[in-house]
């Protein structure tokens, strides 16, 4: 059996990652959804409006645990390709953006969780929308994007930038790029 390729879709908030993940899932690919929305919604049920702002370390711990679990689960899949909406490295990037100290254990997790391909979605103001879980301005989202890119590079990844286009064009770009790698 061939190795499962663990593929991350990442970038700042509001760049179209989740929409592309949903399309990949519709096409029959195994996909793991974004962990942070679930963590945020659970905190809101407990009366915490923005856990990332109130307790960035606790929020980040919950995220890195959830994303590490997704990584481990992705490794067990029999599919050739598994897509993840963000990876463990995003946690460190957000912590750096928030000027929050990062526990050494987080870096160790990032060293262990190496993805086969990282697709980076650049900021795109025309599609950016904020909502209950996405509170950042477009300018903040652009700054987060820069931290995400530099963090993946620092851990040895070479992110592939996904061009702007329709959802179908973006999915097609990703799948064709992966076919070249295999």
Helices 17-26 & 167-181 angle (0-180, nearest 10): 70
Q: Which tokens in the block code for residue 30? A: 């195994």
Tens-digit pLDDT profile for residues 35-52:
887 887 788 888 877 776
The domains of the chain, with CATH numbers, are 5-16+36-181 (3.40.50.300)
Question: What is the predicted pLDDT for the residue at 130?
Answer: 65
The CA distances from residue 154 to 114, 149, 151, in Å, are 12, 9, 5
pLDDT at 166 over 80: yes
pTM comes to 0.89
Tens-digit pLDDT profile for residues 126-147:
775 765 555 677 688 889 999 9
Q: Are 159 and 152 in contact (CB under 8 A)?
A: yes
């Amino acid at each position: 059996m061939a190795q499962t390729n663990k593929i991350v879709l990442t970038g700042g908030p509001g760049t179209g990652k989740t929409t592309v993940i949903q399309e990949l899932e519709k096409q029959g690919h195994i996909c793991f959804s974004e962990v942070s929305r679930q963590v945020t919604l659970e905190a809101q049920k407990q009366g915490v409006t923005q856990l990332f702002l109130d307790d960035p370390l606790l929020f980040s711990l919950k995220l890195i645990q959830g994303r590490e679990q997704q990584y481990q689960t992705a490794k067990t899949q029999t599919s050739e390709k598994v897509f993840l909406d963000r990876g463990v490295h995003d946690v460190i990037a957000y912590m750096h953006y928030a000027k929050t100290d990062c526990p050494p254990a987080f870096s160790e997790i990032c060293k262990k969780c190496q993805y086969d391909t990282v697709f980076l979605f650049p900021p795109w103001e025309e599609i950016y929308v904020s909502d209950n879980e996405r509170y950042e301005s477009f300018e903040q989202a652009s700054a987060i994007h820069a931290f995400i890119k530099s963090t993946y590079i620092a851990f040895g990844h070479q992110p592939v930038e996904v061009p702007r286009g329709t959802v179908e064009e973006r999915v097609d770009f990703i799948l064709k790029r992966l076919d070249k790698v295999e």
